[in-house]
Chains A and B, each alone.
Chain A
């Protein structure tokens, strides 16, 4: 799975990831004020998968797709993930 191995462990903006990337949220920035975002599962420590980049973008979290504005995604810092359950599934699917 190329996308994951190319993602470094340092912080990146969710906004800048390419489709197919898996990541773990490390800092919510100003998006921390958006309670609904967090209740939907985009919060510190959660694993996300980017399905569509751009503005707005689509991420997958806990099996559901969430469309969100790049304005929110710009605030969210992430690191590449290794070994999370969801990503692991994905890696298997991609053979």
Chain B
């Protein structure tokens, strides 16, 4: 196909859970791109599909129940189908996906789409399952009733996909303009005359009539699997326990399995840094590339395995039907603080990284609920905090692993509880109102499709890397500049660790750290910790390399954790008293649980809420929260004589 003529477009439309994604993946394979519909946060997925000799663009619309514009997704989908979206030319053909197990509801959406006056082809999915439930669909009768081709498709068994492609290419053989359109329901049905103007009633009655013509019902004993599993998984007590067990395994997998690829990535970036050191002459350029670019991006990319694994597991759980149940049982808990049950997936993801978690809030339909979730999400303890938690806990309880473990659990619990408390606080102040009432389809349980889940994970990983590649890169270069300039002359006899320390002290970052000292003094922090906190703004774990430089063991010292802990323990203030007392360590731990110290997250908050206002608010309230909490901890402990 040459590039001058615009490519033909086919849009894929259907209810959520109708098997749209599986069909899309099978028609396009890996040839796809993800992004947003221009000017919206509605995800757009498009791919290339080959029909005979013709290459067409296949666009997956978001799953929807109607075109009533009840949500942003439905509004955008409606605009695309009607051809009223200026950024998106009208498609040629609609490929409607219909689930045979609930044809009435799928036909309801179909009745809306017929009004777009486009050629349509129907892919009928889940025919097997309908058969098991005692519903036999007569596809040719359905074709006759709808006035368009209806192709039963089973992607897993590779049935019908070729027929479907043939039917789609027929449209082009005939010509899009001439191709017959499906029957539209009569005016009565659409405006609902005879039912006091309820258009829903009219359309559903129309669907029921069609279903009664095309489905033969026979007595069957449908599998009771879903019903019996739901007895447990949606139970008010057992369901919550099941949820905790599932989440335990998810996190166990993330924190155990992901360590191997994470170590590999770390080694990879270090090797890259060493190579640069060998190839480039010593100087600012080498330092910029090594510490600013490679170090900064590597520090964030290292979390990619955890993020991918989390997304893979969540995608599998979603496909199996479990996530809807988890949202169902969590709704009762989360509603109390003004969060919807659907906010739990982002809240779980936040424990890996707030960036993909904030993007995952798109599943929340109410704008208020979504905003609240985005604002409180960074309080959950992300992976970048772990190194800091571990360092503080080791300083606090070097010889007591049980205490150390409890302190770690405590830090996580503080994160979750403060997120819930902050949601409650927002509900009582600037974002009043109840969370939107739960309304959620609970699809039948099934074995998840690994290929779909892997593709989904791949998409998410690409989105995360795009963020890391742009925002994080800029931020880490900025921080490199702050900690490198202005330059100081250090006599060459001085050991390199000490030279690094002197250089950092005199840099802009060092000066800001010193200027901050009066403010952070009441929390038990000195200017060295101030520099550490400042370096955390690229990614929180950067405080560790920051501290190892300011305490004179050099950047490479950060890799030897025993040496670092020993040095920090021996660090003293000018009056000779130790810096890292129990009070200071606890105060710093609390500060790292609560503080907003991640500029990449702020950039995502801005992108998803559409304004810097909310990102600024997030920074402000979290900083105040962290400051006050650390102040209370440090001063409280001083008061009780713990030092």
Pick from B102, B204, B324, B439: contact of A72, CB under 8 Å? B439
CB <8 Å contact, B200 and A44: yes
Kindly list chain A residues whose C-beta atoms are within 8 Å of the C-beta of B109.
39
CB <8 Å contact, B65 and A69: no
Pick from B70, B234, B324: contact of A35, CB under 8 Å? B70
Kindly list chain A residues whose C-beta atoms are within 8 Å of the C-beta of B71.
36
| B611 CB-CB contact with A under 8 Å | no
Cα distance A62–B98 when bound, in Å?
Answer: 13
Kindly list chain A residues whose C-beta atoms are within 8 Å of the C-beta of B591.
none
Kindly list chain B residues whose C-beta atoms are within 8 Å of the C-beta of A93.
221
Using A58-B442, A71-B437 as known contacts, say yes or no to A63 and B102 having CB atoms under 8 A apart: yes
Q: Which residue of A lies closest to B226 (CB)?
A: A65
Q: Which residue of B lies closest to A45 (CB)?
A: B201
Kindly list chain A residues whose C-beta atoms are within 8 Å of the C-beta of B198.
43-44
CB <8 Å contact, A36 and B101: no
CB <8 Å contact, A38 and B102: no
| A2 CB-CB contact with B under 8 Å | no
User: Number of contacts between A and B (CB, 8 Å)?
Assistant: 112
Using A51-B227, A52-B230, A52-B234 as known contacts, say yes or no to A67 and B204 having CB atoms under 8 A apart: no
Using A36-B439, A43-B200, A89-B134 as known contacts, say yes or no to A64 and B332 having CB atoms under 8 A apart: no
Interface residues on chain B, number (Cβ under 8 Å): 46
The 0/1 profile, CB within 8 Å of B marked 1, for residues 67-81 of chain A is: 111011000000000
B227 CB to closest chain A CB (Å) equals 7
Kindly list chain B residues whose C-beta atoms are within 8 Å of the C-beta of A16.
none
Cα distance A52–B329 when bound, in Å?
Answer: 12
Q: Which residue of A lies closest to B340 (CB)?
A: A69
The A interface is mostly helix, strand or loop, or mixed, namely mixed
A60 CB to closest chain B CB (Å) equals 10
Most buried by B among A40, A44, A63: A63
CB <8 Å contact, B105 and A62: yes
Most buried by A among B108, B135, B365: B108
Cα distance A51–B438 when bound, in Å?
Answer: 16
| A92 CB-CB contact with B under 8 Å | yes
Kindly list chain A residues whose C-beta atoms are within 8 Å of the C-beta of B135.
63
| A54 CB-CB contact with B under 8 Å | yes
B64 CB to closest chain A CB (Å) equals 8
B278 CB to closest chain A CB (Å) equals 60
Kindly list chain A residues whose C-beta atoms are within 8 Å of the C-beta of B70.
35-36, 39
CB <8 Å contact, B68 and A35: yes
Kindly list chain A residues whose C-beta atoms are within 8 Å of the C-beta of B439.
34, 36-37, 40, 66-69, 72
Most buried by A among B103, B104, B200, B434: B200
Kindly list chain B residues whose C-beta atoms are within 8 Å of the C-beta of A89.
134, 217, 219
Cα distance A27–B329 when bound, in Å?
Answer: 28
| B328 CB-CB contact with A under 8 Å | yes
| A6 CB-CB contact with B under 8 Å | no
Q: Which residue of B lies closest to A68 (CB)?
A: B439
Kindly list chain A residues whose C-beta atoms are within 8 Å of the C-beta of B286.
none
Kindly list chain A residues whose C-beta atoms are within 8 Å of the C-beta of B133.
63
CB <8 Å contact, A43 and B230: no
| B443 CB-CB contact with A under 8 Å | yes
Closest 7 CB pairs of A and B: A39-B66, A69-B437, A39-B65, A63-B102, A69-B438, A35-B70, A65-B442
List residues of chain A with CB under 8 Å of any chain B CB. 34-41, 43-46, 51-52, 54-56, 58, 61-69, 71-72, 85, 89, 92-93
Residue pairs across A and B with Cβ atoms less than 8 A apart, 16 shown, are: A34-B437, A36-B71, A39-B108, A39-B200, A41-B108, A41-B204, A45-B201, A52-B230, A58-B234, A58-B328, A63-B135, A65-B441, A67-B324, A67-B331, A71-B434, A72-B439
